[in-house]
Every structure is written in structure tokens, then in C-alpha cells.
Amino acid sequence: TATTQTDPKAATTTPATAARGTKPLGVNENPDMIGKRNINGGLIAKMSGSTEKEVRLGREAAAEVDRQAKFIEDPMITEYVNRVGQNIVLHSDAKVPFTIKVIDSDEVNAFALPGGFFYVNKGLLLAADNEAELAGVMAHEIAHVAARHAVENQTKASLLEYAALGASIFLGGIPGMIYQNTAGIGLLGIFMKFSRSAEEEADKLGVQYMYAAGYDPGAMATMFEKLEAKNKKKPGFISRAFASHPAPPDRRAAALALAARFPEHEEYVISSSEFQRVKARLLRLSNARASSSGAIQAGDDTGAPGRPTLKRRSPTPDDTTTTTPEGEQKPTEQQAPPKLKRNDGSTTKPPDKP
């Protein structure tokens, strides 16, 4: 069942000319320019070939993932994750369709291959405390595809191979051996390891995609901060392939500073009742597989979706919890809403009941 969210068009009705008192947004910083700009127009990217080549390379790598991974096939879970991801894709610069699958692994990981083949680990859903945090990681990965970072990596690797091949022809010996070794590097490794500049660009684009999709753009930085803190306390909490993604403090600060320059929306989507039901179902599914019966215990997986959790722009991406520097979630003090009374200008007592 779909969860009601803010109107997708509402996210772009206010021109993102930068909040008052800040410098104007550049083309690659402006959410209003999503889909109208040329992301990553550098020389290497231009040498990377057509979109068709990108999809072909991604499909080859995805076939390897599909052979090795075990997937969650529960439709309630897969349809929800797909819907969250496709909403972000709709508000991104990506020029390829996305196929999104959920891997049955407790490791915290998510990665998107060239051509839009996107994989989200079960562990990431369980680590997120709300939908905006999940959307933040997904937006970052979608940004890597939109900017063609993985294809750029593959082109760089090919150039190194050609250089090594030339050296082996003229010099022979060790250079030839180096070429033989580098030629065997797997596509997955090339597609999943990004430079710092690529990560910074994915941060910058990701917060724009979150903003355009109606989510609190600060949730991406908060989620990465939380994952980094948990991984320090429990090494291995994050997949080794994903370990470079949680942004260091300077990258998180830059992403938050950019988000602060966007015109404020009245409300941002933080979470939804469907997110909580999906997370609870994942936990029950995991517990059922660990038990002898293998049956999923009854739970509140059905029913009409409730209104999403919304809040006004604030530094904290969750209006019910606060993240400590150690990554712990602590409840914040909730104040009762003020009681409002209609002022009709009359001071007389209410009329008598009939």
C-alpha cells in the first residue's frame, strides 16, 4: 500500500534561487536545474561512451550480483523500497531507468551499478530510524549513477590497462605481468570504489534530490554520521565496500551548508507508518528464519497507511529522537501543542443547550 507523501510537484514550485542572505546557487547546486543540466561533463566522462554502453556494463555486473546474492522477495518490503527509490530517481538527473532489489544480508550496504541496477541490503533498512534516513543513502547512490562515476572509473581503468599493454609490448617482463594482473580486476570492484571528489559530488547532488522529493535534506548527513559512529563502536557493522561512503565531518558539513541555502519548504517528509511496518516485518522475517518453525509471527503489517511524519525544517532529521556524537538515539522532550480557541470577538457565555 502506498504511503501518502507531500505532492512531488510541491517540491519544485518555489524557485530555488537560494535562501535569503546566501550566495546564489550554482547550476550544479540548484534543485531547480535537476534534469536540465549536464552532470559530470569532464573529458573522462565524455570518453566513457553512450548510455547504451553504460547499461550494458551495468547489466554484466548486475548478473554477477544476481548469481551470488540472496534476495528478499516479500512483496510488501520490495514494493516499498522500490517506491522510495523510484520517487528519488524521478527527482534526479539520472537518464537511465532503475531496477531496485533488496539483498537479504544484515550488512549495512547499498550500491548502484551503471545503468541503474540498484541494490539495498536488509541491514541498511534495519539501521535507519526513519524513511528520510533511508532515502538519504539511496539519494547518494542514485547521484553516483546520475554523475556516471562508475563508468568514469571503468574508463580510467581501461586507460591504465592500455598504457600497461603498450609498456609490455616495448619493454616486456614485469610490465607485461602487471598488465596481466590489472586486466583481471573485477567490474564490481571498479564500480564500487569512488574518489573523494566523486563522493563529494554525490553528497551535493543527493541533498538536492532529497529536497526535490520532499525529504529533509539534512537526513543524509545525519544517517552517515550515525553509521560512522556505530561502525567505530562495532567494527564490521558497515560492509567493507560501503565503508568509504559515510562522509567525514567536513563533507557532512558541506552537504548541510548547501541544504541550508535552499528555500525552505513548509514541511519535510521524515518518516511514514509504512516504513515502520516494513522494518517490523523485516525483523519478524529474520526472527522466523532463525526459529525452527520458519513462520512469520503475526504483526501489524496491514491496514491503511497513516499520514507521513512531517516537520518543519530543523537541524535534526527526526522530530522524536536526537543523535548523540556516539550515534545513540535518545528521545527528545515532547511539548504538548498549544490549545487554540477561536476568537469571535464575543465574551458572552456559550448558548444554553436546547
Q: Is 203 a catalytic residue?
A: yes
Residues 6+ apart with CB under 8 A from 224: 136, 137, 245, 246, 247, 252
Q: How far is CA 27 from the centre of its chain?
A: 22
8 Å CB contact between 147 and 40: yes
Q: Looking at the predicted structure, is the pLDDT value of residue 302 above 80? A: no
Under the banding of pLDDT at 50, 70 and 90, the label for residue 350 is: low
Range with lowest mean pLDDT among 81-95, 160-174, 308-322: 160-174
Of 96, 204, 188, the C-alpha closest to 150 is 188
Neighbours of 232 (CB within 10 A): 12
Residues 29, 93, 131, 141: which is the catalytic one? Answer: 141
- Name the more confident of 166 and 118: 118
Q: Is 141 a catalytic residue?
A: yes
pLDDT value for 174:
36
- The full DSSP string for 203-255 is HHHHHHHHHHHTB-TTHHHHHHHHHHHHHHHSTTSB-TTTTT-SPPHHHHHHH
Of 190, 191, 170, 192, the C-alpha closest to 179 is 170
What Å distances lie between residue 25 and 10, 12, 39, 189, 257, CA to CA? 20, 15, 15, 34, 12
Distance CA 112, CA 118 (A): 4
pLDDT value for 195:
80
Instruction: Name the amino acid, one letter, at 289.
Output: R
Residues 152, 199, 203, 318: which is the catalytic one? Answer: 203
Residues 6+ apart with CB under 8 A from 61: 113, 114, 117, 187, 188, 191
pTM over 0.95: no
Grid cell in block for residue 254: 558541506
pLDDT value for 151:
77
Under the banding of pLDDT at 50, 70 and 90, the label for residue 305 is: low
pLDDT value for 141:
94
- Name the more confident of 154 and 320: 154
Under the banding of pLDDT at 50, 70 and 90, the label for residue 224 is: confident
Name the residue ranges covered by the structural domains of the chain.
Answer: 8-331
What Å distances lie between residue 301 and 77, 129, 262, 271, 297, CA to CA? 10, 18, 36, 16, 11
Under the banding of pLDDT at 50, 70 and 90, the label for residue 29 is: very high
Q: Which DSSP state fits 100? A: E
For the stretch 172-202, what's the b/e string if a residue is b when 16 or more beta carbons lie within 10 angstroms of its beta carbon? eeebeebbeeeeeeebbebbbebeeebbbbb
Q: Please list the alpha-helical segments (H only) found in 34-172.
A: 43-46, 51-68, 75-90, 122-127, 131-146, 149-171
Neighbours of 151 (CB within 10 A): 26
Phi, psi of 220 (to 5 degrees): -65, -50
